Amino acid sequence: MALVVQKYGGTSVGSIDRIKNVARRIIKTYDAGNDLVVIVSAMSGETNRLVALANEICDIPDGREYDVVVSTGEQVTTGLLSICLKSMGYKAKSYQGWQIPLSTDSSYTKARIESIGDQNIRADLKEGTIVIVSGFQGIDSGNNITTLGRGGSDTSAVAVAAALNADVCEIYTDVDGVYTTDPNICREARKMDKISYDEMLELASLGAKVLQIRSVEFAKKYNVDVHVRSSLNENTGTMVTREDIEMEGILVSGIAYDKNEAKIAVMGVPDKPGIAAKILTPLSDANISVDMIVQNVSRTDMTDFTFTVTKADLKQALLITNEVARDIQAKEVISDENISKVSIVGLGMRSHAGVATKMFSSLASNGINIQMISTSEIKISVVIEEKYTELAVRLLHETFGLAS
């Protein structure tokens, strides 16, 4: 007998029929003798509907009240799934964030989990009750409803699994697991059996979108095995878990891409200390996230400073950067939306030289020019012209033998 935590996303509970399917799946696990805690998202489309209502009133709704509105989507799903399980003859009970309690800080719309009380849930499990928990939501120290940000149900699931010391946390989604790259682009993309937390973090932040990034941080911190799998079949998915020796041997485990970035270059900046801070501080003050940053080695007393932001932030970022450029007497500011970022991720890079060279040669020999490069311990990202994205992904997938 194990303690299993399962999480079902919005698509899996998107209609009453699908909720019934989820109930049957839950019962199968329960009847096999497991204790079961199930975290659910809002029915697909519901959160968007609620957000649209709030935004119909004003562009930036009050955070506390926004959370009051959007957290109802998950509440409805917990009730419906519990009704379903009870009508099938099983003991079930819904939990909202405040009933657990799942305590967070007071950063409305993107609260961080501080602690989870396990007493109430444990008492129900002891009585054979299937516990159904609203994902995404918590309660702060002032008894206010909070939410964890989009995709927060993944984080709820991993956090609850950690608090209960569960044997496994299964995240059900509409894909079979984590792939070596996007199967829509590369037919050879292969489902991975397992992947380390760190690799998953790099892939998630790079746009793999299977798991919310904070849920993986949580899983890593508390050593929770996360099984990402499909709610549409019985296939084994991908286990996101701690590193092992086998993983170390793999040079590159996945290829990610992101078409959502734009490039801003500040050209001909007088090369003095503090230039980077001067350019980046006003952007962060305006809440604009900067991703890649490259400062070219200056040949004379001038330097070029290049960075990327999301396409959505480009307009505002340009306004701010142009102002700074005048202050620091830069020659000009140019921008380019027509780019994409392609990244290779793998634990093996740590101990193997030549991975970068192999990546760059592969791209060069196919006429793909690299505009920016950024590297971390287990990741190499390049910025290229957007139209080459798919070609680059397929090339690199083959170059690093991911299909085999």
Residue 125 binding a copy of itself, by CB under 8 A: no
Among 11, 29, 99, 109, binds a copy of itself (CB under 8 A): 99
Distances (CA, A) of 63 to 58, 110, 314: 12, 9, 25
Instruction: Give CA–CA dist 360/369, Å, rounded.
Output: 9
At closest approach, how far in Å is the CB of 61 from a copy of itself?
4
At closest approach, how far in Å is the CB of 254 from a copy of itself?
39
255-282 CB burial, b ≥16 within 10 A, e <16: bbbbeebbbbbbbbbebeeebeebbbeb
For residues 69 and 280, which CB has a smaller minimum distance to a copy of itself in the complex? 69
> Any residues with CB less than 8 A from the CB of 251 and at least 6 apart, and which?
346, 348, 349, 352, 355, 400
Residue 76 binding a copy of itself, by CB under 8 A: yes
Write down how long the chain is.
Answer: 404
Site string for a copy of itself, 4-43 (x = CB under 8 A): ------------x--xx-----------------------
Q: What is the DSSP secondary-structure string of 27-55? A: HHHHHTT-EEEEEE-PPTTHHHHHHHHHH
At closest approach, how far in Å is the CB of 129 from a copy of itself?
12
Site string for a copy of itself, 236-265 (x = CB under 8 A): ------------------------------
Instruction: Give CA–CA dist 71/54, Å, rounded.
Output: 12
Host H or E run for residue 114: strand 113-116
* Ordered strands of the 92-95 beta sheet: 92-95, 130-134, 35-40, 3-8, 168-173, 226-230, 238-241, 194-196
Among 1, 31, 33, 58, binds a copy of itself (CB under 8 A): 58
Among 3, 54, 373, 391, binds a copy of itself (CB under 8 A): 54
322-344 CB burial, b ≥16 within 10 A, e <16: eebbeeeebeebebbeebbbbbb
Instruction: Give CA–CA dist 236/242, Å, rounded.
Output: 18
> Any residues with CB less than 8 A from the CB of 363 and at least 6 apart, and which?
370, 382, 384, 392, 395, 396
Chain residues 131-160 in contact with a copy of itself, contact rule CB under 8 A: 143, 145
At closest approach, how far in Å is the CB of 145 from a copy of itself?
8
At closest approach, how far in Å is the CB of 59 from a copy of itself?
9
Residue 65 binding a copy of itself, by CB under 8 A: yes
Among 6, 41, 47, 96, binds a copy of itself (CB under 8 A): 96
At closest approach, how far in Å is the CB of 36 from a copy of itself?
16
Among 93, 191, 394, 397, binds a copy of itself (CB under 8 A): 93
For residues 100 and 396, which CB has a smaller minimum distance to a copy of itself in the complex? 100
For residues 94 and 212, which CB has a smaller minimum distance to a copy of itself in the complex? 94
Residue 362 binding a copy of itself, by CB under 8 A: no
Binding residues with a copy of itself: total (CB under 8 A): 36
The answer to whether the Cα torsion of 205, 211, 212, 213 is positive or negative is negative
Could you say which DSSP state residue 388 is in?
G
Residue 50 binding a copy of itself, by CB under 8 A: yes
Residue 123 corresponds to which amino acid?
Answer: A
Residues near a copy of itself, by CB under 8 A: 16, 19-20, 50, 53-54, 56-58, 61-62, 64-69, 72, 75-76, 78-80, 82-84, 86-87, 92-94, 96, 98-99, 143, 145
